[in-house]
Amino acid sequence: MSEFWIHPALVLFAGCVLLPLVPERMRKAVLLGVPSFAFARMLTLEAGVFGEVTFLDWTLTFGRVDALSIVFGHIMCLMAVIATLYGLHVKRVEEHVASWVYAGSSIGAIFAGDLLTLFLFWELMALSSVFLIWFRGRSGSMQAGYRYLLVHMAGGVALLAGIVLHYKGTGSMAFVAMDVGNPSAAVWLIMVGFILNAAVPPLHAWLPDAYGEATFNGSVFLCAFTTKTAVYALCRGMPGFDVLVPLGVVMALYGVVYAVLENDSRRLLAYHIISQVGYMVAGVGLGDPDTAVGQLALNGVCAHAFAHILYKGLLFMGTGTVLHMTGESRFSRLGGLYLKMPWTFLFTLVGGLSISAFPLFSGFVSKSMIVAAGFESHTLWAAFLLMLASAGTFLHTGLKVPYFIWFGKNHCSKETWERAADPGWNMTAAMALTAFLCVFIGCYTPYLYDMLPYTAAYEPYTSYHVSETMQVLLFTALGFFLFLKKLEPEEKISLDLDYFYRKGAAAFYWIARTPVQALDRDWGEAWRQLALVPTMAWARFVARFDNQVVDGIVDGVGATVRGLGARLRGLQRGSLQESLTVAAAVTACVVIAVLLLTRGS
């Protein structure tokens, strides 16, 4: 290692080791202290390259600190603090450990200076985050978790294949901007790995499937890290890649349409992540670091990712609170809760106004940078379609979510109504802090703009921009109330592209359980009758022959030899030395007798 350097992710990983060892009475202090220390460490980072380790023929870089990594690292460490505060009362230590490993892996990927280190943290991120889905314990959660894991493993394989081809073609593992003007097979494969985590259609269905089934606290972590780490990776490796512009626009519209149709509040928000990340993906496609417009687009991507992590986290906290307190997240089984959960409503409304880019809220100062870059680069079709998507955002997140949970017709069961109440202090504090930041960023732009990686100037509060935004929002609100009856929630599910692999998985399971298992059973029986039974019979015959015939002959010979030996042993006169003496004396007598007889003759 080049020098001693504390990685912010290392603080979280160390906390994962420490937390299970801490007595329960001290656990909340540790839960607040560890991510806070990681965030404090993040604030003290200086630009440079740190944490270099030589591994085989490669130099792994764990700490590439520059303007781009700092803005993403800043918001991810901050979100780790807020999300941990929100789930402070959760007693399952394993869930906190999984959350911190997940957050630390994401931060590790942000500061990775080479593709191998990026891949290491990329995969650790997928492996740790799946537990935030499984810990909910429902059958649907277990199945969603397995689908989530399989999809991300497939994306990891594509990413690894791209990295191997990239290294073979360039001889370098450095994670820098790639040649997107003449993309090779390696670039395409790496892009597939990135956009799968960004939930670009048709690789998106894992997101609403998993985030809607996660624990109430797990969804707050999930909505912040995976997709935004992918956005960072696209910013770092593929700025200006043209194909990302249409993909991003499709995401923005696709997510909006499915969010309008959705009956589950958390699945609605999950679909809307796809829409908002679509702005970022399109911004990366518009982002050429060598031009002023491209720098504005990349600044917009960073700013919108920063703001999105906060207001989307706030929205998931609001709907997660409803789920946690009432046990229900479907619009068709909620309504009229404004008197029972007023603070939760207020904070969720702030999140809804922020994501709708309402003036004085964070989305207004971030999202508009990407749209402005679209107009200034003369990519008018993309800019207009992104504006259209923003109207849909206000329709379902700014209006539908608060109206059908806290107002409208009361569909609550007696049990749901009796359980409804504002949550404990930690959940309220986390929502209040996040709501404050959403307003603070919208009112005091230097806090966010001074962190952006490029110097491209942008002023969101112009009379044209404000009036244009208000017209879109008011027109959308008018349409919402005019078509309110058409938007009434219904107990139904929306078919998406996950239908195919859900059905494919069910078909695979049926094939495995029915024809394949029957074939295996029949083949096993045939093998037993045709091969194992004759073999065992032959083995028994051989064993019997060996025991009764061969062993009898051998034992008989042995017994005969042993008896003969015993008889010979009875004839033995004494020691060997004595026998030799007698033999020598007899021999000498015979020789002397022969000599005498010979001389006498």
- With helix as H, strand as E and coil as C, how does 531-548 read? HHHHHHHHHHHHHHHHHH
Q: Residue 529: its pLDDT value, please? A: 87
Dihedral in degrees, nearest 10, Cα atoms 438, 444, 445, 449: -90
**The pLDDT of residue 105:** 97
Cα distance between residue 459 and residue 410, in whole Å: 43
Instruction: Identify whether the C-beta of residue 386 lies closer than 8 Å to the C-beta of residue 378.
Output: no
* Cα separation, 394 vs 39, whole angstroms: 32
Total length of the chain: 601
DSSP letter, residue 16 = H
Residues of the chain with pLDDT under 70: 1-3, 567-577, 579, 598-601
Strand partners, 63: 50
The single residue listed with the structure tokens 């450095």 is 174
Ordered DSSP codes for 66-90? SHHHHHHHHHHHHHHHHHHHHTTT-
Specify the pLDDT at position 328.
93
- From residue 309, give the alpha-carbon distance in Å to each of 221, 226, 549: 10, 11, 84
Non-local CB neighbours of 446 within 8 Å, separated by 6+ positions? none
Report the pLDDT value the prediction gives residue 1, as an integer from 0 to 100. Answer: 47
* Residue reference for tokens 């537990």: 131
Name the phi and psi angles at 136, rounded to 5: -70, -30
Determine the longest span between alpha carbons in the chain, in angstroms.
160
3-state DSSP call for residue 200? coil
Is it true that the peptide bond before 201 is cis, omega within 30 degrees of 0? no
Residue 483 buriedness (CB in 10 A; 0-12 / 13-18 / 19+): exposed
Return the pLDDT at 573.
53
- Residue 247 · residue 281 · CB < 8 Å: yes
Q: What is the pLDDT of residue 65?
A: 96
Q: How many CB atoms lie under 10 A from the CB of residue 455?
A: 9
Q: How far apart are alpha carbons 197 and 350 in whole angstroms?
A: 27
Give the pLDDT of residue 552: 75
In three-state secondary structure terms, 509 is helix
Distance CA 93, CA 99 (A): 10
Calculated CA dihedral for residues 386, 387, 390, 394, nearest 10 degrees: -160
First and final C-alpha spacing in the chain: 111
Q: Cα 296 to the chain's mean position, in Å? A: 30
pLDDT at 600: 54
d(CA 449, CA 303) in angstroms, rounded, equals 7
The torsion angles phi and psi of 358, rounded to 5 degrees, stand at: -70, 140
Query: Which residues does 139 contact at the CB level (< 8 Å), separation at least 6?
Result: none
Q: What is the phi/psi pair of residue 59, to 5°? A: -110, 110
CB neighbour list of residue 417: distance below 8 Å, 6 or more residues apart: 340, 410
